[in-house]
Amino acid sequence: MADALKVIPKRNDVSTGVQDTKAVATGLSDVLADTYCLVFKTHAYHWNVEGPLFYSVHNLTEEHYSNMFEAADELAERIRALGELAPSALKDVVSRSRVEDAEGEMSTADMVEDLAADHERIAHRLHALAELAAENRDIVTEDLATERSAFHEQAAWMLRAIAKS
């Protein structure tokens, strides 16, 4: 029984027809990093938003971070299904991500616009991942990237719709 806890995770070769599993897994790891960083940022804005649109923004950001938290598990499990190891160090996640911390005090409008821009940034990255997956005959990752891109595009639209005055 004690030996069961000594197993060290390793990458594995897989034969599912996907051509360059390492490249696809790297793309997935980048999107996973973006997702995790945006979960935190969205949650932080959720905690700190104020003003007349508090309830709307508070509830929408909760929907968004909950969705992204679940998606992180799907992304990591797809990386493992490709035989690669998912990122396991916070510094690796932060260094891979294109989501950046905002500087200074932010109004609700600033927070909403910042989140919308990050969702669009991730959608672009997911479009590139879908193309990479298609080139490498990975229809599962292509489908996952398409689904996640649709979420991020919708999130950006909803946030921008709230910000209109």
3-state DSSP of the chain: CHHHHHCCCCCCCCCCCCCCHHHHHHHHHHHHHHHHHHHHHHHHHHHHCCCCCHHHHHHHHHHHHHHHHHHHHHHHHHHHHCCCCCCCCHHHHHHHCCCCCCCCCCCHHHHHHHHHHHHHHHHHHHHHHHHHHHHCCCHHHHHHHHHHHHHHHHHHHHHHHHHCC
* Per-residue tokens: 102: 């905002």
pLDDT at residue 1 tops 70: no
Structural domains for the chain: 19-97+107-163 (1.20.1260.10)
pLDDT at residue 42 tops 80: yes
Task: Write out pLDDT tens, residues 46-94.
Answer: 999 999 999 999 999 999 999 999 999 999 999 999 999 999 999 999 9
